[in-house]
Chains A and B, each alone.
Chain A
């Protein structure tokens, strides 16, 4: 299996621009998670989906952030407009209900820099 695939690996953009991060979960996994990692706040859960439906988006910081999962094999996290404080590593992870105990499989992350 190819694992969780995220793109791009690095993104540099200017303040005010729209940013779209992409994720392809592991085939057969029905839960997908977006995490953000910063030095100050560590790993924070932004949103997670179960069977393509958003279950908990309480971690989404502002209305500038939105996430979609149009089908079981693709999800996007969009930031519009982006701000320098959004600079972080964004991880996508997936898991299967057939795997007990919340074992997550992570992608390699997207390093976002907003100038």
Chain B
């Protein structure tokens, strides 16, 4: 079946630091990959996505590249802000049409 594994949190860092959240997946075929973000007290928002190998998704300074050879979709941001504090979810959708989520990584950015 399909599964997503992300690095365990929580992650705490200072403003302007570099953020990486690792995500790897297991799936047959060519899934589409997503990063969702959940701010405190809110639902999930799509942050970025990539639908085929070597695609790079980007939004709000975040980037992730679909790496089929390593089955990875790591999320990066070069300079985080306090407002980036949230829970980040890696997810995939495959030919079973079901969105599979990782467990989520809590990120706290301190001023």
Question: Do A and B make up one complex?
Answer: no
